Structure 1
Amino acid sequence: MFAADLLVFSSILSAAWGQSVLSVSLPKTLNSTSGSCLLIPCLFNISKEKENILDSSPEATWRRGSLWSLYDTDRFTIDHRQKEPVMEVLGDLRKKNCTSVMRNLTSLHSDRYYFRIQAENFGATGTRAVHINVSDSLAEPNVTVPVLREGEEVNLTCTAPAPCPSHPPNVIWAPALGGDVTQRTQLNADGTQTVSAILNFVPSFHHHELKVNCVSIHPLHREDRPLLSHKMVILSVEYPPKETWISLTGLVWLGDKVTLTCQSNANPPAVHRWFKKRAGVEEELGISHVLSFTAAHENTGEYICEAQNQYGAMNSTNLQITVIGQSVQFHQCYTSVFLKHFGPIAFLFAIYSSFVKLVGETRVALLKFKYCSNREKMCL
């Protein structure tokens, strides 16, 4: 029992001592895909009294799992032999560069990994781990779309991670909108890499609400078929009013309700202003999408709608409105009057015809009846 406790205590002391002489700088989290590889950017520092081991071709390895169980090498090998990825240190250890690559990844390789350096009579493991996530699917690429204005040249940027620099993704735009696409590989501050596709084009109002896809195509080691990921964006192009017109509902008769609607194609939506021309004089009627009025003879004239936003203005074609029927006349004539008794009640009947005449038109005559109560002397 004492020997076992002593062994554990010695392991803890050894780990603590190793931590004091080795510090490692690497990203906190890295993501990759099953069947691909993963570059692990890594730099380290070692205490000055131990720097001489860098000239003796030390061995660099990566350990996974809990820091305090790393030193049980036999247990580590048994537990993880079937799960271990292929690891290769690419960096120059003499320059304190421990950058490494993991190959043939599967989701079983998701774990925490610690860098370890060993030489004769020396061994130290960094206390900072990189958490590696290996997924069977890809995350969406990142898309940057600036404000789009008609006629102004812009760049749409689509960026996908390149966890395996030896097999970078191919990033494309579909459709390309008649523009030029440039691919660019960027080294980030933490040592990771990304690939961007930059689409340069000049938007027009025809591109408004158009669906555009950014597609990243990732080659894999384990099979010929690549893995795809995409993100769709709907373009919003700002432009001055187009195709401004007036729609008319209702009959334009004297006294009728008239509704004029101004419609235009603009982004952002236009403000609509109404004008009326009559006898060469133009009158502003107000600001509204819809103009309503009860038809009177003074409403006769040409109506114009102006649509305007911050990018420009456009007028509709003139709409001529002529109000029909400018006066109304009523004519009545009684044709007969007679008294009729029904028991104690006497009814006085007056039969007359009513004619409604509009200028230029005579409408149908209506036959109506009136009756009066003799007892109540009331006419209804």
Structure 2
Amino acid sequence: MACSENMFFLIGLFMSGVLACFGQRDLIASMPDRLDVLTGSCVQIPCSFDIPDKHKDTFNSAILLSGVWIKEFPYLDLPSSPILTVSGEVKEGTPVSLNCSAVAPCPEHPPELTWTLPTQFTTENQLQENPDQTKSVLSTVTFTPSYLHHEKNITCTAVYPVGTSNKRAEHNMTLNVSFSPKDTSASISPDDPVFVGSCVNLTCSSTANPPVTNFTWFKISEGKTTQVASGQSYTLNVTVGDGGLYYCQARNSHGCGMSNEVQLAIKGHEEPVNPKVFEIVGKTLGLIFLFSLIVFFAWRRRTSRLPSGFDMTDRSQGLVGMNSPVGTVCSNQATVGRGNQ
């Protein structure tokens, strides 16, 4: 069959996606390289063409065009897996979006996309046209990741309706969540009291993504905190002044984490008493002594103002003897007493 003017045959070759045209005029035609279709479902095959610049002036657009589709070999009967993509870095505490796209060879019955995630999320689905004019369904999930979601699996599943049944395809992905150091802890070996001169090893551990880049050790002694070493492990030969509390700090590009405190106790050695303790005790004893002196002198001053009982009696008798006959009576009583004897 010969091609008349503006009539051409469209031959779709699914092996390579090449669309050929035979006729008096050359046309630039294109179609998708590949189409995944399912038995029992419809398929929409897009095809477009353009007129070369050198023929645009002579091409008669009023004449109806016609074409023929030719299939060279049986089409695929299994749905392809959805495509999962991540928009930006998945970082702890920062909302992130995951995209899942699945082809829709039959736009009238597009696939349904569902998600499996280890946390709560919101979804948004839409049917969109691709650059090659095929259709696909795009599902977007938004959630806020935690460090507990690191290395957890997520799944996007596409369910295609085919007649009275469904066909499924899915894509799995492992979450890679960036987070600052967590579960930071310090340990000491041996953890029992040690003698001066013994070897002691302190170890710091932490979970982080990306991994910890810097470990720092601190010592607490006499109420003061001092940085003493760097590195995940800290080994020392114990001296008298090494006793006290130790802790470590783990740091990566997203932040840092502090560990618990561990005690390094030295056997047979008592920790020196803080000089401030002596100062406080001395001041307290001084105040008690001063208060005691004040109380003593106040008591002495009060008692010195009162006459003794003996002096009071003598003075009373002298006054009575001079002004009344009582003194004579007392004298008489004494005389009578001696007479009786």
Structure 1 residue 226, shift from structure 2 partner: 1.2
2:155 corresponding residue in structure 1: 213
Secondary structure of the structure 2 residue equivalent to 1:282: strand
Secondary structure of the structure 2 residue equivalent to 1:269: coil
1:237 corresponding residue in structure 2: 177
Give 2:115's match in structure 1, choosing from 169, 173, 183: 173
Return the alpha-carbon distance in structure 2 between the equivalents of residues 53 and 194 of structure 1.
34
Give 2:27's match in structure 1, choosing from 23, 29, 39: 23
Secondary structure of the structure 1 residue equivalent to 2:148: helix
Secondary structure of the structure 2 residue equivalent to 1:21: coil
TM-score, normalised with respect to structure 2: 0.64
1:265 corresponding residue in structure 2: 207
Return the alpha-carbon distance in structure 1 between the equivalents of residues 127 and 59 of structure 2.
40
Structure 1 residue 59, shift from structure 2 partner: 4.6
Return the alpha-carbon distance in structure 1 between the equivalents of residues 42 and 155 of structure 2.
26
After the TM superposition, which residues 1-380 of structure 1 pair with which residues of structure 2 at under 5 Å, given as runs?
18-35=22-39, 36-45=41-50, 48-54=58-64, 59-65=66-72, 108-109=73-74, 134-145=75-86, 146-175=88-117, 177-221=119-163, 224-250=164-190, 251-254=192-195, 255-270=197-212, 271-325=214-268
Secondary structure of the structure 2 residue equivalent to 1:63: coil
Secondary structure of the structure 1 residue equivalent to 2:108: coil
For these two proteins, the number of residue pairs brought into alignment is: 245
Q: Is the 8 A contact 1:252 1:295 kept in 2?
A: no
Structure 1 residue 248, shift from structure 2 partner: 2.3
TM-score, normalised with respect to structure 1: 0.58
Structure 1 residue 212, shift from structure 2 partner: 0.8
Secondary structure of the structure 2 residue equivalent to 1:298: helix
**The structure with more strand, counted as a fraction of residues:** 1
Q: Is the 8 A contact 1:24 1:42 kept in 2?
A: no
Question: Which residue identity lines up with residue 77 of structure 2 in the other structure?
Answer: D
Return the alpha-carbon distance in structure 2 between the equivalents of residues 164 and 176 of structure 1.
32
Return the alpha-carbon distance in structure 1 between the equivalents of residues 238 and 186 of structure 2.
17
Deviations 1:130-151, CA, capped at 9 Å, x for gaps: xxxx323232211112311111
Unaligned runs of 5+ in 2: 3-7, 10-19, 271-341
Distance 1:309 1:176, change over 3 A: closer
Deviations 1:143-164, CA, capped at 9 Å, x for gaps: 1123111111111111111122
4+ aligned runs moved over 6 Å, structure 1: 14-17
1:362 corresponding residue in structure 2: none
| Percent of aligned positions that are identical | 29
Structure 1 residue 167, shift from structure 2 partner: 1.6
Unaligned runs of 5+ in 1: 1-6, 9-13, 66-107, 110-133, 328-380
Cα RMSD between the aligned structures? 2.8
Return the alpha-carbon distance in structure 1 between the equivalents of residues 135 and 67 of structure 2.
23
Structure 1 residue 314, shift from structure 2 partner: 2.4
Distance 1:64 1:317, change over 3 A: closer
Structure 1 residue 273, shift from structure 2 partner: 0.7
Q: Is the 8 A contact 2:92 2:145 kept in 1?
A: yes
Q: Is the 8 A contact 1:173 1:197 kept in 2?
A: no
Distance 1:312 1:64, change over 3 A: closer
Q: Is the 8 A contact 1:209 1:235 kept in 2?
A: yes
Secondary structure of the structure 1 residue equivalent to 2:140: strand
Return the alpha-carbon distance in structure 2 between the equivalents of residues 169 and 28 of structure 1.
19
Secondary structure of the structure 1 residue equivalent to 2:120: coil
